[in-house]
Amino acid sequence: MKIAIVGSGYVGLVTGVCLSDFGHEVVCVDTDQSKIEALERGEIPIYEPGLAELVKTNVASGRLSFTTDLAQAVPVADVVFIAVGTPSRRGDGHADLRYVYAVARELADAVSGFTVVVTKSTVPVGTGDEVAHIIATANPDADVTVVSNPEFLREGAAIEDFKRPDRIVVGIEDERARAVMSEVYRPLYLNKSPLMFTTRRTAELIKYAANAFLAMKITFINEIADLCEAAGGDVQEVARGIGLDNRIGSKFLHAGPGYGGSCFPKDTVALVKIAQDFGSPMRLVETTVSINEQRKRAMSRKVIAACGGDVRGKTIGVLGLTFKPNTDDMREAPSIDIIQGLLDKGARVVAYDPQGMVGAREIIENIEFASNSYAVADKADALVLVTEWDEFRSLDLGRVAAAMKSPVLVDLRNVYSAQEATKHGFEYVSIGRPVGVDGKPRPGEAAV
Ligand code: NAD
């Protein structure tokens, strides 16, 4: 099949590359000329494991190409995916649909013959209707059907997720789209990934419901972690104890500094707005949003408490900046609020991240960067582990402690154990776990 992908960011590029790897002929379109030029030179504008190799193979096979010219890519395409951003609208938190609608207007004039237009961007319920309306109004002769096919991939594991998804959700309003979308995903279907057909509105709702549910699950375990700190329990044991129940499941039960990233924060807020618009408020999600917002700042108070209540003039080393490992994405990363909270209280912050420092430099002012994990620890008064990159999981703790002014380790991802850290002389603070010899929380461990 001939496929055009409009928007070649994290989702569009991965979608395009994987579909070309399935054997389709794919053109990735983007308005960002420097991005397209970089891709044409074989440079990958984002960090995503395995992506560079896959781009190279499929470009070499002639199945994958890049352009800024939508009008050239779309007329020959059987299927056009819209994968542009839907960020939070400034001021009210609604999904900002201007990029999606701009693409719809461009497509109206560019399509030729029967074309399936697929919204892959995360969009509020009813957006597909509006995209169809825009195209039909601008070009009444266009033979187009609009499909909703939300994406569930996770950055850092995007290729694996795209090629081996738990399910593919396809919302259609025209039976002709069923055969086309089945053909697009045929290789996955053969791999037994369930292809679920539903209505367009339902598909749009499934995406927001999935993200909101996962955000709630994370927030739930974070609150249980606070209770564990106050009451003297161990959140990891609680998570294991409940996660072994098949009705609950063990995933997304890792207590931490709060969720961040390019999806959960904006999608939960957008769902709250959608629900309010329909007069059907989602109070669980509203509460999740507010708990998570407060939690990120509370983490900087936790660090300050671990430093004896004052960080003025102290050097705090930060390990990890991106919202999760294996990505360079800094959007809404908890590190931003945590670091800002420390800077506001007069700390000097030195950070290291394997992929996030370029992005962080644009977002956080007055932060310094180190060249590796050990350089971050150099003469630091405390070290905070914010993102659980693999390389932070097996640090030589003796070497880290020796480099520091005072060995305080605030482990916001529970990567280490109290036993391990204290053996190397660390004062160790983690999330939702007792650290005292007697198993009771220390003052620094008190719920924040
Ligand atoms: P992104 O910001 O990385 O990429 C969007 C791209 O669209 C950019 O390269 C931008 O230049 C391009 N673009 C904007 N307007 C355009 C136009 N008129 N024509 C062509 N290109 C245009 O965004 P992303 O993270 O890939 O997210 C895209 C959508 O997918 C969003 O709705 C997001 O919520 C959803 N989503 C993202 C993820 C994720 O992990 N990032 C996962 C699932 C769903």
CATH number for the domain running over 2-198: 3.40.50.720
How many secondary structure helices (H) and strands (E) does the chain include?
18, 14
The single residue of 18, 28, 263, 307 carrying the catalytic annotation is: 263
What is the gyration radius of the CA atoms in the chain, in angstroms? 24
Residue 71: the pLDDT is 98
Q: Annotated catalytic, 307? A: no
392: CA distance to ligand 1 center in Å?
30
Please name the amino acid found at residue 359.
G
All residue ranges of the chain with pLDDT < 50 are: 437-441, 443-448
The fold adopted by the segment(s) 235-429 is Rossmann fold (3.40.50)
pLDDT of residue 446: 44
How many angstroms separate the Cα of 10 from the Cα of each of 7, 80, 111, 207, 356?
Answer: 9, 17, 25, 17, 15
389/369 Cα distance (integer angstroms): 17
Q: Whose CA is nearest to atom 37 of ligand 1?
A: 11
pLDDT confidence of residue 192: 84
Domain ranges of the chain: 2-198, 235-429
Per-residue pLDDT tens over the stretch 185-215: 999 877 788 999 999 999 999 999 999 999 9
User: What is the reported pLDDT for 439?
Assistant: 43
Span from the CA of 96 to the centroid of ligand 1 (angstroms): 12
Instruction: Report residues whose beta carbon is within 6 angstroms of any ligand 1 atom.
Output: 6-12, 29-32, 35, 83-86, 99, 102-103, 121-122, 151, 153, 155, 262-263
User: d(Cα 147, Cα 130) in Å, to the nearest integer?
Assistant: 12
Q: What is the rounded CA–CA span in Å between residue 373 and residue 172?
A: 49
pLDDT of residue 435: 62
Question: What pLDDT, in 10s, does the model give residues 93-130?
Answer: 999 999 999 999 999 999 999 999 999 999 999 999 99
Domains 2-198 and 235-429 share a fold: yes
**Rounded to 5 degrees, what are φ and ψ at 136?**
-65, -35
